[in-house]
Amino acid sequence: MHLTRVDNKKLRKAIDKAAGHLDEALGALEPLLVSLTDAERATVPRARADFPKAARKLAEASAYHPDVVAATEFDAAAVVEDLHNVEALEALAPRIERLARMIDDSRLVWLAEAFVPSLQLYGVAKVRAKTDPRLAQAIEPFAEVFAAPRKKKTAPTK
């Protein structure tokens, strides 16, 4: 595995700077954006990808059919406003998704880079601990962390 060494002081400084910018972005956007609970999110209808274009045409056409609009709660201006709001969010989404992916990938790689040599050291120490009681006692707290998951044996099928 190729190690991705990064100066922790520089990383923390960059994270502090980024956190400040993120706080600023949250401060600017939080009063305007929606935040749902998991339960609320589960009940919100999902629009298809081709919906915005169709909704715009429907909003335009609704002006010529006020009798149909009167039978519903349709508000063309509100629909178009919501579509404009979604378009505005699209400018942020790729950057936020990229940042989230980079954070996830960095966390994954750095944990793996720390885990692999630690597992190797633990493996060697575990073997030597069989003849060294002090070493056995020293590595005992790590046994659960480094234990390989055991596969459950299934009963043979007939």
Mean pLDDT computed over every residue of the chain: 93
In angstroms, what CA-CA distances link 72 with 1, 5, 65? 61, 61, 12
Question: How many other CB atoms are there within 10 angstroms of residue 59's CB atom?
Answer: 19
pLDDT attached to residue 78: 97
Question: Can you tell me the distance from the alpha carbon of 122 to that of 126, in angstroms, rounded to the nearest whole number?
Answer: 6
Q: What is the pLDDT of residue 66?
A: 95
pLDDT recorded at residue 111: 95
| C-alpha torsion angle, residues 10, 12, 14, 19 (rounded to 10) | 180
Q: What H or E segment, with its residue span, contains residue 104?
A: helix 93-128
Give Cα separations from 89 to 50, 65, 116, 143 (angstroms).
17, 31, 40, 47
Express each pLDDT in 103-157 by its tens digit: 999 999 999 999 999 999 999 999 999 999 999 999 998 888 888 777 777 767 7
Determine the pLDDT at residue 158. 64
Mean pLDDT of 51-61: 97
